[in-house]
Amino acid sequence: MKCALAVAMLVLSALSPGCSQLPPPKEGRSVPPTPTCMPATSQEAIEARLARQTAAVYRRATQLSYRADITSGDPPEHIWCTTRHGSRHELDLRVYDDTGLIYELHKRPDGAIVKIRERNYRGGQAEEYELPYEACDARRWNPRCVRGLNACMFGSSALSWLGPDAHRSAFLEEMIAASEYVGLRDVEGFPCDVVQNHRGQDFKETFYLDRESHVLRRWTQVWKGVSRDRVFSQIEIVSPQDKTGE
């Protein structure tokens, strides 16, 4: 009887979801594995939960600022950006290389239009113009003053990440949900849940999501052996309910 009861308990424990340890880091600084009891059911995968949490942070927020250190290309080129995002396309972006400031972008909503001011110090360009609000989304607008610049490197920072209709929050939710959870990593002292996808041939993309605040701390892409690495620091994000900062 006791033997039969023991066998039954083993079978039930194998079938029942419960707390588990996340896999330890495979690279980077050592982070102790954190016991977690994620509410993962057959209807809710870890990746889907992380996707919703990350997108919700940016959708709720009214202000966001950060420094983005970006390395890209072969040979690698390094720039950094300071960015302040607001809602409805409001944005201040400054891009630097080792020589100093190379590009500025300022966007201000004004009713049904957005007023845009660009200056490219490397290419000797400056322009001020206005666009209808609906023409400023990710599919219709690109910087104009990009002579001599690799605008793709900082392009994701040239659009506001905030608000319920922001392209960036929708992109993050879709890409994270379609990724695979690979473990816990450290980014500049912040424990991050890491997910990875291969959404194209010879393409690998990795997102590092702050375990506590759910902001994006690092975002890497590798395509045909050429990498782009973005590390976000000095993050301050504000929503009507709370404030998360460093």
Identify the pLDDT of residue 121.
98
Is residue 71 assigned to a domain? yes
Residue 90's domain spans which residues? 36-240
Residue 1: inside a domain: no
Asked whether residue 210 is domain-assigned, the answer is yes
For residue 6, being part of any structural domain is answered with no
Do the domain assignments include residue 16?
no
For residues 156 and 175, give the distance between their C-alpha atoms in angstroms, rounded to a whole number: 15
* Position 39, amino acid: P
- Euclidean distance between CA atoms 77 and 97, whole angstroms: 9
Does the residue 18 lie in any domain? Answer: no
Question: With contact defined as beta carbons under 8 Å apart, do 194 and 209 qualify?
Answer: yes
DSSP of the chain, one letter per residue? -HHHHHHHHHHHHHHS---EEPPPPSSSS--PPPEE----BTTB-HHHHHHHHHHHHHHH-SEEEEEEEEEETTTTEEEEEEEEEESTT-EEEEEEETTEEEEEEEEEEETTEEEEEEEETTTTEEEEEEEEGGGGSTTT---S--TTS-HHHHGGGSS---STT-HHHHHHHHHHHTSEEEEEEEETTEEEEEEEEEEETTEEEEEEEETTT--EEEEEEEETTEEEEEEEEEEEEE-SS-EEE-
Report residue 8's pLDDT band, with 50, 70 and 90 as the boundaries.
very low
Give the tokens for residue 164.
Answer: 């319920």
Q: Which string of DSSP letters, residue by residue, matches 87-102?
A: STT-EEEEEEETTEEE
d(CA 185, CA 207): 11
Mean pLDDT is lowest, of 13-22, 44-53, 147-156, 229-238, for 13-22
Q: Band the pLDDT of 246: cuts 50, 70, 90.
A: low
Kindly report, residue by residue over 115-135, the tens digit of the pLDDT. 999 999 999 999 999 999 989
How many angstroms separate the CA atoms of 26 and 137, rounded?
Answer: 38
Would 19 be classed as within a structural domain? no
The number of distinct structural domains making up the chain is 1
pTM of this structure: 0.78
* pLDDT at site 167: 85
Choose among 239, 237, 185: nearest CA to 207.
Answer: 185
Residue 181 lies in a domain: yes
Name the nearest CA neighbour of 87 among 141, 164, 174, 155: 164
CATH number for the domain spanning 232: value is 2.50.20.10
**With 60 as the cut, is the pLDDT of residue 12 above it?**
no
Give the model confidence (pLDDT) of 25-37 as tens digits. Answer: 333 333 333 334 4
Taking residues 215-229, report their average pLDDT: 93
